[in-house]
């Protein structure tokens, strides 16, 4: 590998493991993925994806009718009333497993 230079980055262990698992399924090594990212940065002269701050209001009901919105809210109320709830710890664990 003539004329190469190392790139070092420190990232969260679980992020690294999750990403490398996906890359392995795609048949791409971490080094190849980094080369792809750098190549795209050079090609587009910036990040190859949009960088922006999230909207202050993440939820928008503009595309949903009031009756449909009320029905969705009622599902949540019904779940609480029937005891179908999860603790914050359970939600954290489920999200960690999924992501």
User: Model confidence over 57-74: pLDDT tens digits?
Assistant: 555 667 788 888 888 889
Alpha helices in the chain (DSSP H): 13-26, 30-44, 66-81, 88-98
User: Model confidence over 22-39: pLDDT tens digits?
Assistant: 999 999 999 999 999 999
What lies within 8 Å, CB to CB, of 64 at 6+ separation is 72
How far, in Å, CA of 81 to CA of 75, rounded?
10
Evaluate if pTM is beyond 0.85. Answer: no
How far, in Å, CA of 26 to CA of 32, rounded?
11
Question: How much is the average pLDDT of 34-50?
Answer: 94
| First-last CA distance in the chain | 35
Q: Say if residues 20 and 30 touch (Cβ distance below 8 Å).
A: yes
How far, in Å, CA of 38 to CA of 4, rounded?
13
């Amino acid at each position: 590998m003539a004329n190469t230079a190392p790139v070092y980055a420190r990232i969260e262990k679980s992020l690294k493991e999750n990403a490398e698992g996906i890359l392995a399924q795609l048949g791409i090594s971490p080094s190849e993925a980094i080369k792809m990212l750098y190549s795209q940065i050079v090609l587009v002269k910036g990040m190859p994806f949009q960088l922006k701050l999230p909207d202050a209001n993440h939820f928008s009901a503009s595309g949903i009718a009031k009756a449909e919105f009320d029905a969705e809210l009622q599902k949540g109320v019904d779940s609480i009333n029937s005891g179908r709830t999860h603790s914050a710890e359970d939600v954290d664990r489920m999200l960690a497993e999924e992501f």
